[in-house]
Amino acid sequence: MAPSTLTALAEEKTLQTSFIRDEDERPKVAYNQFSDEIPIISLKGIDDEGGINGRRGEICEKIVKACEDWGVFQVVDHGVDAQLISQMTTLAKQFFALPAEEKLRFDMSGGKKGGFIVSSHLQGEVVQDWREIVTYFSYPIRARDYSRWPDKPEGWIDVTQKYSEKLMELACKLLEVLSEAMGLEKEALTKACVDMDQKVVVNFYPKCPQPDLTLGLKRHTDPGTITLLLQDQVGGLQATKDNGKTWITVQPVVGAFVVNLGDHGHFLSNGRFKNADHQAVVNSNSSRLSIATFQNPAPEAIVYPLKIREGEKAVMDEPVAFAEMYRRKMSKDLELARLKKLAKEQQIQAEEAAEKAKSETKPIDEILA
């Protein structure tokens, strides 16, 4: 049974079995062993188009290299007001500190669009994530349902609206750079999104009694175009570029956004830009907060590479609507989790049978000994 909130469990000495991951999925690198491999890129001067002092070209080169290499980079001097960022994180922390019954007024476990939920992004997953989330669907504006936006703490709705608007602007600016890098018009990627969706997911990872056995958020790629992640100074975001053989922990940088390319961005670039393979680990010393702003195409937007370079093969067999792509991803994730559980059960049964057979065929002197 899923707990109503994680707060009570965080006080226990051992982890409930529903959070324990198989050994191959457990963290391989510490939450605070930071790497400097992910580039930190200043966007100062990104709007200076030309001239000898124009910085745009240089910034674009760095962004493109990071997208080809990792699908992850960090941005500073991005123009989002530091006070707005600080209000957003303060209010988010206050939300998670509310009593369980207050948070559960916005419970979305019954499949509601937006609100509060514990543990997993996928209903029906076998192993649970060690996180609580609160989420809003912020774009398109006409589809906003404010009844699903928590009305506490005071000022939350107002700050979130402003934050969403500023992050939409920043995301569009980054997509312009990537469009140009693909040799397309500036608006190519945003146009491919038709009418861009935005969803804000605030992740709260409480302290965890046995963090080596579990994950805050299991390994995944984000389904959409681009994600802007704001994280506190604790650390826990990890990335891999060799299919999980080695992992690095992204260095937290005050006021920076971590930018992840998602599956949609990957497909539109015909695989040139990586979809960041990442996860979040937890720890027993402190809780952690991160705010993910997912920029997704409209559900009906057709996904297919915008440009296939000479000598390349398309990474997709056929065009598919984003909603269908998302549905297939979710069912594949669930199916994989189901198969993994089945394989584990079969392995346990086989081991038990082997043990039984061994005791039945023991030589008589061993049994008598």
Ligand X SMILES: O=C1C[C@@H](c2ccc(O)c(O)c2)Oc2cc(O)cc(O)c21
Q: Which residues bind Fe ion (CB under 5 A)?
A: 222
| Signed CA dihedral, 75, 79, 80, 81: sign only | positive
User: What CA–CA distance (Å, rounded) separates 280 from 220?
Assistant: 10
CA gyration radius, the chain: 23
Out of ligand AKG, ligand X, Fe ion, none, what residue 259 binds, judged by CB under 5 to 8 A for its kind, is: none
Pair of tokens at residue 214: 């579990």
Of the candidate spans 52-60, 107-115, 230-238, 296-304, the one that interacts with ligand AKG by CB under 6 A turns out to be 230-238
CB of residue 282 vs ligand AKG: minimum separation in angstroms? 10
* Binding flag, residue 280, ligand AKG (CB under 6 A): yes
- When asked if residue 78 is in the footprint of ligand X (CB under 6 A), the reply is no
Instruction: Verify binding: residue 290, ligand AKG, rule CB under 6 A.
Output: yes
The one of ligand AKG, ligand X, Fe ion, none whose footprint includes residue 103, by CB under 5 to 8 A per kind, is none
Report CA dihedral (108, 325, 199, 193) to the nearest 10 degrees.
Answer: -150
Our finding on whether 199 is near ligand X (CB under 6 A) is yes
Structure tokens at 245: 């053989």
Considering the rule CB under 6 A, would residue 223 count as an interface residue with ligand AKG?
no
Q: Which residue is nearest to Fe ion (CB)?
A: 222
Residue 280's binding partner among Fe ion, ligand AKG, ligand X, none (Cβ under 5 to 8 angstroms by kind) is ligand AKG
Buried b (16+ CB within 10 A) or exposed e, 321-351: ebeebbeeeeeebeeebeeeeeeeeeeeeee
Examine residue 274 and tell whether it contacts ligand AKG (CB under 6 A): no
Asked if the peptide bond before residue 99 counts as cis, ω within 30 degrees of 0, the response is no
The kind and range of the H/E element at 132 are strand 132-139
Q: Residue 219, class by beta-carbon neighbours within 10 Å (0-12 exposed, 13-18 middle, 19+ buried)? A: middle
Q: Is 109 exposed, middle or buried (0-12, 13-18, 19+ CB in 10 A)?
A: middle
User: Binding marks (x or -) toward ligand AKG, 114..153, rule CB under 6 A?
Assistant: ----------------------------------------
Say if CB 177 and CB 273 are below 8 A apart.
no
Residue 222 is a binding residue for ligand AKG (CB under 6 A): yes
Q: Of 152, 191, 207, 329, which one interacts with ligand X (CB under 6 A)?
A: 329
Q: What residue 290 binds from ligand AKG, ligand X, Fe ion, none (CB within 5 to 8 A, per partner kind)?
A: ligand AKG
* Count of positions on this chain that bind ligand X (CB under 6 A): 13
Q: Which residues bind ligand X (CB under 6 A)?
A: 121-122, 199, 201, 220, 222-224, 294, 296, 329-330, 333
